Each structure stands twice: as structure tokens, then as C-alpha cells.
């Protein structure tokens, strides 16, 4: 199966900016921007990498040297997913990943991708908690390609996803506030 790894990086980072002043994906995490760390891990998976970001997010676009950049003036998560899926419509499936999750390992991306061979929707589960990325077979293209606003595919993921047990705590750790950077430094 040919799987596209779509990293969502089109959010406005409002909560982080309210407390820290900069975009969370550009925030420094041990000498590199958060998004760079995420993309390094994603690229090491060997999957074809796509990054959905805003047309005016030039600093984010500059980080995406090893990815196909998909521009989307996103009104929310749903629109970002739709843009990424539409840009990679010829793939057999997609992993939907978040740009603010810098510690998901390449092995976890590969494990979720491999699970798509046998299951139409897959999601990692770490110590009983659902994580990211979430994988979809191309059967779900009509639904994913038309998502709008901030409505993502959560309901169908909750009801139909096959849970893939992993030990990668990076699948649970995202950065929403400046204080999360300190916790992440302890994590790494």
C-alpha cells in the first residue's frame, strides 16, 4: 500500500500565542522548532510526507524542505484534513498527524501505516489512551476530502478504528501551551 503521511500545520496557535507570543510550531524545543522535530521524525518513517499549512505561514513553509507543502487557508481541522487528502488523492491511504507532536517515533508511523493493510481505520493506543496519528484507507476519501470547518472525523474514528497497541508515549504528547515545552524537555 502507498500511504501518505499528512502533517497538519495550518492552525493559528491561538492558545499558545496568548501565553507565549509566538506560533507553537516555531517555538524552540532543544535548538529546533517544534515542527522541525515533528517533520524529522515523520521523514525518517520513509512515508511520503505532506504538510498542510497556511499560505501566509512563510516561516512554517520554510521548514518543510522534505515535504510536499499543501496550502490551505484553513478554517479548522476538517478543512486541513480535506486539503491534505485532496493533494494526495492517488494514495491507498493516509496517516493524519499533528504538527505539534514532535516525539512520535518513525517506528510508530510505520506501525500505523502497516496496520492499514488489514483495517480501514487505525489508531494507536498507549496504556489504554488513544493517540495519533490516525490512519485511513482510501475507502474514506469521499468523507475526508469534503470535511469543513473544525469538524474532523472523530465520530467515525471512535466507532470504527482498530486500536493498535504501541508503547510510544510520543503518540500522546502534543504542545498547546508554552509550559508544555518544559514538560516535553523532560520527556525527551
Task: Flag whether pLDDT at 4 surpasses 70.
Answer: yes
Q: How far is C-alpha 88 from the geometric centre of its chain's CA atoms?
A: 15
In this predicted structure, which of 19-33, 48-62, 116-130, 166-180 has the lowest mean pLDDT? 19-33
d(CA 163, CA 182): 30
The model's pLDDT over 130-173, given as tens digits with 9 standing for 90+, comes to: 999 999 999 999 999 999 988 788 888 988 899 999 999 999 99
What is the C-alpha separation between 79 and 74, in angstroms, rounded?
A: 6
**DSSP state letters, 35-71:** HHHHHHHHHHTTSEEEEEE-TT-HHHHHH-TTSEEEE
Looking at residue 155, its pLDDT comes to 85
> How far from the centroid of its chain's Cα atoms is residue 37's Cα?
12
Q: Are 23 and 60 in contact (CB under 8 A)?
A: yes
- What is the per-residue pLDDT for 181? 80
Note the pTM of the prediction, 2 decimals: 0.94
d(CA 155, CA 137) in angstroms, rounded, equals 16
Residue, of 130 and 177, whose pLDDT is higher: 130
Torsion-angle region of 139 (φ positive above 0: left; ψ -120 to 50: alpha; else: beta): alpha
Give the 3-state secondary structure of residue 75: coil
pLDDT band of residue 12 (cuts 50, 70, 90) is: confident
100, 157, 91, 150: which is closest to 124 by C-alpha? 157
Give the pLDDT confidence score for residue 21 in this predicted structure: 66
Looking at 3.40.50.2000, 3.90.550.10, 3.40.190.10, 2.60.120.340, the CATH number of the domain 3-187 comes to 3.90.550.10
| CA end-to-end distance (rounded Å), the chain | 32
Query: Mean per-residue pLDDT for 42-63?
Result: 97
Write out pLDDT tens, residues 78-126.
999 999 999 999 999 999 999 999 999 999 999 999 999 999 999 999 9
Amino acid at each position: 500500500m502507498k500511504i501518505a503521511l499528512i502533517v497538519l500545520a495550518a492552525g493559528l496557535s491561538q492558545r499558545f500565542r496568548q501565553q507565549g507570543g509566538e506560533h507553537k510550531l516555531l517555538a524552540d524545543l532543544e535548538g529546533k522548532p517544534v515542527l522541525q522535530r515533528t517533520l524529522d521524525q515523520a521523514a525518517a518513517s520513509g512515508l511520503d510526507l505532506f504538510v498542510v499549512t497556511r499560505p501566509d505561514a512563510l516561516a512554517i513553509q520554510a521548514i518543510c524542505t522534505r515535504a510536499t507543502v499543501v496550502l490551505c487557508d484553513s478554517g479548522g481541522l476538517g478543512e486541513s484534513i480535506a486539503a491534505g487528502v485532496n493533494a494526495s488523492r492517488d494514495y491507498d491511504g493516509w496517516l493524519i498527524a499533528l504538527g505539534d507532536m514532535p516525539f512520535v517515533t518513525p517506528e510508530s508511523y510505520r506501525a500505523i501505516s502497516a496496520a492499514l493493510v488489514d483495517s480501514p481505520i487505525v489508531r494507536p493506543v498507549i496504556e489504554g489512551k488513544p493517540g495519533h496519528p490516525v490512519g485511513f484507507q482510501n475507502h474514506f476519501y469521499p468523507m475526508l476530502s469534503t470535511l469543513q470547518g473544525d469538524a474532523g472525523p472523530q465520530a467515525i474514528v471512535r466507532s470504527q478504528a482498530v486500536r493498535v497497541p504501541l508503547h510510544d508515549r510520543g503518540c500522546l504528547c502534543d504542545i498547546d501551551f508554552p509550559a508544555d515545552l518544559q514538560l516535553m524537555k523532560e520527556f525527551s
